[in-house]
Structure 1
Amino acid sequence: MAGTKREAALVALLDTITAVANTSDDLEDAARAVLNAVCEATGWPLGHLCVPADIGEDFVSADIWSGPIGDFPALREISQTVRFPPGTGTIGRAAATGQPVWSRDIAVDPLFFRAQQGRDLGVRAAFAFPIVAADGVAAVLEFFSAQPAEPDEPLLRVMASLGHQLGRIVDRRTAQTAVQAGRDRLRQVIDTSVEGFVSTDAAGHITEWNAAATRMFGRSREQVLGRQVHETIVPERYRKADQAGRARFLATGRSNVLGRRLELAGARPDGSEFPIEIVVWATREDGEWAFHAFIHDITDRRRAEQALRQAYEAEQATVARLRELDAAKDAFITAVSHELRTPLTSLIGYLEVVADAEAGVVEASPPGRRMLEAMTRNAARLQNLVEDLLAISTLSADHLEIEAVPVPVGEVIEAALRVTAAAARDSGHVFQVRVDDGVGRVAGDRDLLVRAVGALLSNAVKFSAAGTPITVRASATGQRVEVAVTDRGAGIGADELPHVFERFSRTRYADEHAIQGVGLGLAIAKAIAEAHGGAVTATSTPGEGSTFTLTLPAAVSSS
């Protein structure tokens, strides 16, 4: 009969503690209930709770007792002052092993070191069992008897099982704490976000509203919670569409806006609107749909875009005006050049007649002859300028077309040398010409090519010291032909070299030494080269000279 009562008591104890483990969320409250239930079921007068210390791995008394602890002052005092390292004492042993520990007589049990303090604790037997959670032992419960007692194996087995059940309380609390920490972090992220965050329930009532939304829409969290979202932040003209879209999603699960980044308009309390960018998504929580949105005020972006559009339009207008001016300039240069060409041609012709003493038309005195030569020279210089202006105007036109025919490279060089022969002879320059084997023909307009090479030769004559040689070399590489003109002049600085092919470009050296020309020769050579599918490049070393290289496609030989 006694055995049956004992089993019934253990079953009742098991049911009680199981109920506590399933319903409680607080370990200390559950521990008090368990202490009382175990004391009542076993008849042992005292129960005690030990928990992990704040620092380290030791366990300490939680000062939670069941029973008349006031009758055992020494036990309470010593239990409050000592620490239980893992494996030390009944508490430390239970914490280290995760298994119940029994001391039949603490007076002679070296494991129960609290009885070795030289004081009468008023108890003789003890057992302890751990509360085991997923992360380890969360607490240890110990019980005391006034008399020595042999280990009760059935009781220890029940306690071991109950220790794991009570661990579920700790696991639930840990999970709840983690969930709450996650919610707190999410709340902090949302509250500190620069974008507005708004959540609603399925009916459209606002349930979440962060600080950025308050700044954006001019309404506090308290003012908007529970209100319909379409009546709060949606402009009136969009409200019906907002309600209809939400209803369609709830009925069919389809939506045209969820998950998309949209540019719409938001409404402030005074009815004014401002541009927003919004992303809306839906979640299902406890069987109910909820809608969430991140909202960004794009007023500044719209202003920047408008400013960029206006700047672009102004720039386009400026470009168009510059093109008109450029076209007008070219037309002016062409018209003036044409008007100047006719009288200049006549003037030069008459000067040549006057200067021809052998013809007998005019017998000029030596001073008169010098004046006639100066007039002829300057008239020719002016004619060259007019021809350059006409050439650069023609070559810069978009409709320039080249009628390419095979032209011998040597012939182009010889013709260009004849054009510049007079200037070279006056300055004492000597041309050293070398045409490599294999250099044949190029495809192009002969007169334009002669003009391009002549421009390079004329440039070398102008910027070389009198009497110094000028080298002209033609070579072939693959399907390209190169004509390089090298002088031993002053050279060009690295800062000026990239600009030498620009129209009307003049170097500092040209200005300082009053070298004739307006800076069109190299620009003409570049335009001619590009019109033929080639290029003209320059290399230079200040103080040593420069090399200008005209590169052209070789003519394709016919078989």
Structure 2
Amino acid sequence: MDRPRSSRRIPMRGDHLTQPRNAVIRRALPLDSPLVRFVLAGVMGGRRRTERHGGDGLGNRLRGSMAALPRSIGAAAAVLGPGAQKLLSDAWRWLPVPPRVASWVTQAMEPLRLPLFDAERAVLLDAALDAVIAADATGRITEFNAAAERMFGYPRAEVLGRPLAEVVVPPALREQHGKGFEQYRLTGKSRIIGQRIEINAMRAGGAEFPVELTVTRAASDGPAAFTAHVRDISDRRRVEDERRRLLAAEQAARAEAEAAAELVRRVQTITDAALASLSLEELLRELLPRIQRALATDTVVILLAEADGTLVVRAALGLEEDAQRAVRIPIGEGFAGRIAAERRPVVLDDVDYERVVSRYVRDKAIRSLAGVPLTVETRLVGVLHVGSVHSRTFRRDEVELLQLAGDRVALAIERAVVHDAERRARAEAEAAARTMDDFLATVSHELRTPLTPILSWTHMLRGGKLGADQAARALAVIERNVKLQARLIDDLLDVSRIMSGKVHMEMRPVELPAVVEAEVEVVRPAAETRGVALAVRVDADIAPIGGDADRLRQVVSNLLSNAVKFTPQGGRVDVTVRRLPTGVELTVRDTGKGISPEFLPHIFERFRQADSSVTRAYGGLGLGLAIARHLIELHGGTVRAGSDGEGRGATFTAVFPLPAVTLPAPPMRVDRPRQPTRSIDGARVLLVEDDTDTRSSILAVLEAAGARVTAVSSAADALDAIGQSPPDVLVSDIGMPGDDGYALIRRVREVEAAEGARIPALALTGYAGAHDRARALATGFQRWLAKPIEAQELLGAIAQLLSSGAEAPRTPASR
């Protein structure tokens, strides 16, 4: 029995829709829709009828059904949309339809094919994420999807038919775009069709942005048509740009770090020597070739700053003449002076020779220079500069290298200068210590040596075994050695006063020729004894100089004694006093031992002797010339020594300036001590001396001269003696226990002021300084004598006090 007709007409159990190729239809079509079932039933029914009646027996009814198929699909499209329309129109292809039916269906569906394609494409374009722009062969826009509207900012209707170039192509690329279209039109070839490229596009407002572009040509036998797929890569480009920026920054940082490491390495190759404890000369000698190699220059020069505001070339490579001549450059002048003044690096790619101070830079034809200041904190140490004989542009890293090297060189130079100063100070201290040791040994020798004959002859005199001649000789030897010791002590005291700056000078007009002639006569006996000729030549009309007579006599005595001492028998000493336009020149020239070139620079130094060994041939402390130099300088003069070498004599020249203003007193002539102007026989003398031996010896001298002497040992006893019987003359020591001589004379003058009397007073003291003398006179003494005291000098001073009474103090005849 046959199945119901409706069942045969619409088999929807899935027998034919279970195949893989029908899966699309099952997903896309609503199979429960009556309209869909109607269409499918028509297709399936046609198949069964064909099978029953044969391909050639198809009746008019079947043809009518086939003719109605497009209308059915069209109705379905109106309800379900163009996507469903397309599926329905192609559904028969996937179903078991006889070939003849397929041909009929194809013919029936032909009127719907183009509308169905357009509908499908519109759906796909609107769903696309990238912008899709189609253009015809003339370059006018034929399609502009929704993504393109969003991307470019134009509505589709506004751009359709407009030239693509004026809508999306930036002005800078339009000419290139037009040439590409023209090339394709003529040759059919294009560099961009089928390629993926990155290029700039333009939005509606004119803003450019990066895009990724793919252009294809539509497959057609008709006019060319093009489709462009455009993707906005602004975000990707920003990410890439940021990545490139970070990569570039990383590479730059790495390169900078590597450059810094290389710079440090190069600086280290220059300045590692600067870290060592080298002397300044060794340091400079080591640094110059290193700097030259590091910078590949022809010259390297280091100048050091001086206190007078100049730069002095201390070391040079390639410009050795500058260093040899110690060229000085004022700060602010020339290339190096400019660097020092501005305290910054200076580079001259082309040297202007008219502005270069050093002529050696011109002579060497240096074309390019680069220099840096050498500073430590804010202190200018010097300048370092390099040069090239060829025109050269110094790179920034080379200047930085030079500056870094200069900073470390400056520290090294300052450290070397300090190191050298410490080393010199240590060497000088050690030399001074050795000199002082030698000097103290000499002092011990010079002081002890005279004591031997003094003690020996004293012992012989005490024994009473000497005849009259021998006794006289003994006394002469004792006197001579005592005076020698006194001279040594005076020299020591003078040096002490000079070192402490306590030398007192009484400046008056002094006739230097008179001083010289007097001292020549004093030295002449010793010269004659040694067989040395002594000659004096003095210019006429020599003006007085300003000076201290006693100190000038000491200067002349030291120079003369020194010349006589070092001149052998048969030699000669010439003394010349010469008038100069602005002063007076004293020259002492001998034909004696001479001075070695090594010792000549030290001839006026304290405690220095050319021969301080135990085998030396000449005695003395070696202080005379040092004292003479200081005294001459205190007079505003200068002194110099010259010698052609050992065994060729020596010359000492002192120059004294004429006084700039008129001095208060008339010129005073310097004479030797005069004999007493009157006898002290019967004079009443009060002697105050705490030392027993000194008191007894002075007492004996005074009593031998006929004086009536009262001798006491203290100031208190002296005041008691004055109260009982005022003396004619008071002779008092200064340094005493309890009240000293100053306190005594002040008390005496106070009593005298009340009574109206005045006792002449003479001070005796072992304190032999000029300030001691001034203090004694200011306190109330009229005369002052320094110990040791010669008898004739003592008697003469007392006689003068007795003659003048209590008149104003006078200049002493001797120290």
TM-score class, shorter: 0.3 to 0.5
Whose strand proportion is higher, 1 or 2? 1
- Report 1 or 2 for greater relative contact order, CA contacts < 8 Å, sequence distance ≥ 6: 1
TM-score of the superposed pair, with normalisation by structure 1? 0.40
Bigger CA radius of gyration:
2
Q: What is the TM-score normalised by the length of structure 2? A: 0.29
